[in-house]
């Protein structure tokens, strides 16, 4: 079952997320989802 999380960003991080969303025509939520997925994937790779 999907879970919902909340994230509080400072202005600089929010601006970066907004810029990525505009650049790739995604929602901010989609950008955050992809960034978390990439970060978790990189963590798994580093742990090997």
Spell out the per-residue pLDDT of the chain, length 48, in tens. 889 999 999 999 999 999 999 999 999 999 999 999 999 999 999 999
Is the pTM higher than 0.85? The answer reads yes
Supply the pLDDT for residue 1: 87
- Angle at CA 39, nearest 5°, toward 3 and 16? 90
Euclidean distance between CA atoms 19 and 41, whole angstroms: 23
Supply the pLDDT for residue 38: 98
């Amino acid at each position: 079952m999907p879970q919902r999380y909340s994230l509080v960003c400072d202005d600089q991080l929010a601006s970066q997320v907004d810029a990525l969303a505009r650049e790739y025509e995604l929602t901010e939520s989609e950008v955050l989802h992809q960034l978390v997925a990439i970060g978790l994937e990189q963590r798994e790779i580093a742990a090997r």
